[in-house]
């Protein structure tokens, strides 16, 4: 099978590209290279392209035909929550406009399978500690809104022209499947802590008085390699005759507190991690964990790596 991966030179995308290559698939990467790196994708064909531009549609249709593309995995998007609040129009243009161009090109090019990179940000600030896919989706920032709209667009394309799609709502992704594919962005807890340690600063913990065992917020962490495997399981699922669901949580199904993460960082790095505890941030729930029963039952997927694996692999990649 030939698979086109948008955003395939980025952190998560490059893991999926490598897994596809390992199982013998032909891979075409589409990336604007604003954050991606071509050395991450091996011998995959790379098409440098911004999906939100007018040039995207003809370039994609041509790539589909040239490489016999049968399926698309769509990562390409802007993904910083704070930036999305400051620049909402840019996020709607890039994330929604880019997805619209991709879907139109898939319709015109006869490519009928899509795995869409969505996010737990679609849930907003849920009233429950454990979130299910059939619960309310009420995003509270433009980033989450654009991801939810992407899901709607994929579903609408299914009704309109038969697109088979699966949208994966990620929770907190970290770690590295290979030392050369570490996360180069400093936007999530573990890279932020590593950067603080390198600079000799105390990592900051927002909130020490939550109703949790140690007072810090609890989140669901998933190893990036487990997440990448979920994309392959979703691709295979799209070939099935019976597909009862099109949206899946991707997480571990259990939570770790911020202080628990710091304790593991201390064990792995050997660096004494003494955090600075500040006031809670507005809108941060005490506990947010994925219900993963749907993806387990429907796709046969579950995590294989724990928090220690995540931190250890992220630290090795950083040192490398």
Beta strand residue intervals within 90-203, DSSP E: 113-119, 130-131, 164-170, 172-174
228, 177 contact by CB (below 8 A): yes
Alpha-carbon distance of 137 to 307, in angstroms, equals 27
Alpha-carbon distance of 265 to 147, in angstroms, equals 31
Alpha-carbon distance of 24 to 42, in angstroms, equals 13
Catalytic residue among 11, 143, 210, 221: 143
Taking the CA atoms of the chain, what radius of gyration do you get in angstroms? 19
- And the tokens for 61? 């249709």
Instruction: Examine the residue annotation and report whether 143 is marked as an active-site residue of this protein.
Output: yes
| CA-to-CA separations, 45 to 66, 72, 81, 158, 285, in angstroms, rounded | 11, 14, 31, 28, 42
Give the list of residues 6+ apart from residue 36 with CB closer than 8 angstroms, or none: 7, 8, 9, 10, 13, 14
Smallest Cα–Cα separation from 116: which of 133, 128, 99? 99
The residues carrying an active-site annotation are: 143
């Amino acid at each position: 099978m030939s698979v086109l991966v948008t955003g395939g030179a980025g952190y998560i995308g490059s893991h999926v590209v490598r897994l596809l290559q390992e199982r013998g698939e032909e891979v075409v990467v589409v990336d604007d290279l604003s954050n991606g790196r071509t050395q991450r994708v091996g011998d995959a064909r790379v098409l440098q392209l911004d999906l939100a531009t007018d040039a995207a549609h003809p370039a994609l249709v041509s790539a589909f035909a040239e490489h016999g593309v049968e399926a698309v995995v769509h990562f390409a998007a802007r993904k910083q929550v704070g930036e999305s609040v400051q620049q909402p129009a840019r996020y709607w243009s890039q994330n929604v406009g880019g997805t619209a161009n991709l879907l139109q090109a898939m319709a015109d090019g006869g490519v009928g399978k899509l795995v869409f990179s969505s996010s737990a940000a679609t849930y907003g600030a849920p009233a429950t500690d454990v979130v299910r896919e059939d619960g309310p989706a009420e995003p509270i920032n433009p980033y989450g809104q654009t991801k939810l709209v992407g899901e709607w667009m994929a579903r609408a394309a299914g009704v309109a022209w038969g697109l088979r799609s699966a949208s994966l709502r990620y929770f907190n992704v970290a770690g590295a499947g290979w030392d050369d594919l570490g996360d180069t962005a400093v936007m999530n807890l573990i890279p932020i802590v590593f950067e603080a340690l390198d600079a000799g600063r105390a990592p900051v913990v927002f909130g020490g008085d939550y109703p949790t065992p140690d007072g810090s917020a609890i989140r669901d962490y998933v190893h990036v390699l487990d997440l990448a495997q979920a994309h392959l399981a979703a691709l295979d699922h799209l070939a099935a005759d019976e597909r009862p669901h099109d949206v899946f949580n991707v997480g571990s199904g259990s939570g770790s507190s911020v202080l628990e993460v710091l304790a593991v960082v201390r064990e792995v790095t050997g660096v004494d991690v003494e955090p600075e505890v500040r006031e809670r941030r507005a809108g941060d729930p005490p506990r947010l964990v994925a219900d993963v029963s749907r993806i387990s039952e429907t796709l046969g997927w579950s995590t294989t790596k724990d928090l220690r694996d995540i931190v250890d692999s992220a630290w090795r990649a950083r040192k490398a």
